[in-house]
Amino acid sequence: MKKHLAFVTIMALFFALALSGPVAAKTINLTYSIFFPPTHGQCKAAMSWAAEIEKRTNGQVKIQVFPTGTLTKPQQCYDGVVNGISDIGMSVFAYTRGRFPVMAALDMPFGYPSGLVATRMANEFYNQFKPKELDDVKVLYLHGHGPGLLHTKKPVKSIEDMKGLKIRSTGLSARIVESLGGVAVAMPQNAAYEALQKGVVEGTFTPIETLKGWKQAEVVKYTTDSRSVGYTTAMYVVMNRGKWDKLPADVQKVFDEVSQEWIDVHGETWDADDAAGREFTLSLGNEILELSDSENARWIDAVQPIIDGYATSTKEKGLAGDEYVEALQSMLKVAK
């Protein structure tokens, strides 16, 4: 009799569960640290990525975005992901100098024509070489801005015009300034406007999007279209390895699919912002100066030692620097 009652009870529970439908999956709450402010196009693109993840997982995944470095500072973002301070992070490889010697190849002045090309190349490069320096995270995708150009208070049409000019720059762009005969002045982007306004510096090396995004078109008069030596700044979107490994396979699939689609979203956003910067500076009566073919060739020759130096220094570390440079130059030829 007892066995019969137990059987009836179990069957009743079974049918009750069946009628109530499938058990709802547990919500997965994740945090996302981004150094861009919420008004920046790249932060908006990242937030739309997070929203798409939530949509395609039917709300199973919810991602809380922390912009402007409020959760982890830009330089701490990568370690913050590794150590679980944030589950996902977006920042710049070059903010932790020497940490990513393979990925540093992307920032060389190869002459990137656009943000879309730079972004696609960054992902192709990573997928080709899969450097061990990123093994402690799950790489979701990468992106990079359009060509870094020269913006000045007086016209620069030749290397001779660059001689002695004080140019705001950081990291790699500082080496480009010095190769062209200018004086590099290290300075973060948020200090550039006042420095240009007060004459502390006479120009800045930066993507043209900053002329509107940071209003720098108000304090410069000329842009030298130096995209023949245009550099990019490669940026990562990575996830804590432990958190990734614990995600259900179907959720991982959604992350991979959406991340692949958002490569072009970020690249196109960079280009749209560059177009807006160009339009804004011209609307203020500023000029965009084109270099002659012969002058472009001189600028390319001037920065070549930077690329050669990268190949040599990485080779000394046991890395295939020559191969990285050759791969990127081949990708660029196809892209152009």
pLDDT of residue 265: 98
Please report which confidence band the pLDDT of residue 24 belongs to, taking 50, 70 and 90 as the band edges: low
Residues 208/282, Cβ–Cβ less than 8 Å: no
**What size, in residues, is the chain?**
336
**pLDDT exceeds 60 at position 204:** yes
Secondary structure of residue 198 in the 3-state scheme:
helix
**pLDDT exceeds 90 at position 83:** yes
Alpha helices in 199-248 (DSSP H): 210-213, 241-246
Count of CB atoms situated within 10 Å of the CB of 100? 21
Question: CA angle 120-179-161, nearest 5°?
Answer: 105
Long-range contacts of 158-162 (CB under 8 A, 24+ apart): 158/291, 158/295, 158/298, 159/295, 159/298, 159/299, 159/302
**pLDDT exceeds 50 at position 9:** no
Closest CA to 113 of 149, 156, 151: 149
Across 82-91, average pLDDT:
98
pLDDT of residue 13: 43
Residues 6+ apart with CB under 8 A from 151: 203, 204, 205, 206, 208, 211, 216, 220, 222, 223, 224
pLDDT of residue 332: 97
Across 171-198, average pLDDT:
93
DSSP code of residue 22:
S
Q: Rounded CA gap, 188 and 209, in Å?
A: 16
